[in-house]
Amino acid sequence: MDQKQKWRLVGITCVIFSYIMMIIFGMYYSILIFSIALGVGGIVVLIYKRYKEKPKTDNK
């Protein structure tokens, strides 16, 4: 339950941050920053999932 709330909070923070970026930098730069952030976020999630699965295989 705590994990879900944590990810929801992260998601809401990202949305608010992207809106602020849109207001400050304008549409073009916000899309560019958002796409980069999305790519980085995807990589982080992949690494996190792989790291989380590692202990299960190491427990053999």
Residue type for 10, please? V
Token readout for 29 is: 């730069």
User: What are the C-alpha distances in Å from 15 to residues 2, 19, 31, 56?
Assistant: 20, 6, 12, 34
Whole-number pLDDT of residue 4:
83
Q: Give the pLDDT of residue 34.
A: 78
The tens-digit pLDDT sequence of the chain (60 residues) is 578 888 888 888 878 887 887 777 777 777 787 788 888 888 888 888 888 776 665 555
Q: What is the pLDDT of residue 1?
A: 57
The residues near 29 (Cβ < 8 Å, ≥ 6 apart) are: 21
pLDDT at residue 56, rounded to an integer: 61
Residue 55 pLDDT: 61
Query: What ranges do the domains of the chain cover?
Result: 2-58
